[in-house]
Amino acid sequence: MSILTGIVLGFVQGIGEFLPISSSGHLLLTRLILGIQEDTPALKMLDILLHVGTLLPVLIVFWKDWIHMICHPVKDPTLRLLFIASLPTLAVYLAAKKLFPAVNGFAVFDSGWFLGVSFIITALFLLLCDRLAASGKRNRKVGVVQAIVMGLFQGIGMIPGISRSGSTIFGGVATGLDKKEAARFCFMMSAPAILGSLLLEGKDAVEAGYINQIELFPTLVGILVAAVCGFLAIRFMLNVITKLPLAWFSLYLAILGVVYLFLQLAGVSVLPAFAVPAGL
């Protein structure tokens, strides 16, 4: 992997993790366009490390919140709510592994065969989110119900093309939160999700020696770019979430999804065929 490729993938990860457009979907699309094989163990490890890059801005932007919840774990309910939100995400991950062992759970989507449909699903989530946010009074405090529902949607967001942030914000708004509070909690939820992914998948990758296949300098550059772009993306979303309709992101994803499906069904060689893999 070249340094330029590391920069491109880091940029896509950093921007896509916090804008509601799906970082995993855009990383997969970028690889398909660049002709990079997406299912190698080394690239799986690279995905995890790029996500660690986007963990850094979450820690930086919300540093006061992290310190307060750690120093006051009883008084501040955020830590407890983040733990509660992580449980449905973990349950969805384990359920997929159990239901589809032949295709390793959500890994069945890693070829990109479902990517166009996933983008369209995210577009619908965002459109509905705007409609719900405009209807009635919104709650500015996350509760147990919101944490559970947002955790479930975060689990759905493990499918490439379904935005983790977009679907999770939609889950928060659907249970009564205003968009800004849903976005704030959603971004904080990414920290335990990334750490969980690092523990569940990173440990196996290290033990299997996959990390030795990573090219160190391009990977470090990618992580740095992901961290910087992620920081800018979080700041941007927190500033505009109540001013900028998510419908603009929805329109972009709907067009991208339709174009992807059209090219896919037309048999464009760089895209996988729209066919359900055996074992699903």
The answer as to whether 277 is a domain residue is no
Provide the number of structural domains found in the chain: 1
> Tokens standing for 216?
């160190």
- Cα distances (angstroms) measured from residue 168 to each of 10, 28, 39, 218, 276: 22, 20, 26, 31, 26
What is the pLDDT, as a whole number, of residue 41? 64
pLDDT per position as a tens digit, 224-245: 999 999 999 999 999 998 888 9
Residue 125 pLDDT > 70, yes or no? yes
> Are 140 and 178 within 8 A, CB to CB?
yes
The answer as to whether 276 is a domain residue is no
What is the pLDDT, as a whole number, of residue 252? 97
The answer as to whether 140 is a domain residue is yes
What is the pLDDT, as a whole number, of residue 210? 65
Segment 200-217 mean pLDDT: 70
pLDDT per position as a tens digit, 55-81: 999 999 999 999 999 898 888 899 999
The answer as to whether 180 is a domain residue is yes
CA angle 199, 203, 209 (to 5 degrees): 155
CA distance linking residue 241 with residue 225, whole number of Å: 23
Burial degree of 102 (CB within 10 A; 0-12, 13-18, 19+): exposed
The answer as to whether 275 is a domain residue is no
- With CA atoms as reference, report the closest residue to 103 among 29, 168, 159: 159
Q: Which residues form the domain of 47?
A: 3-265
The answer as to whether 278 is a domain residue is no
The answer as to whether 185 is a domain residue is yes
pLDDT per position as a tens digit, 97-120: 888 776 667 778 888 899 999 999
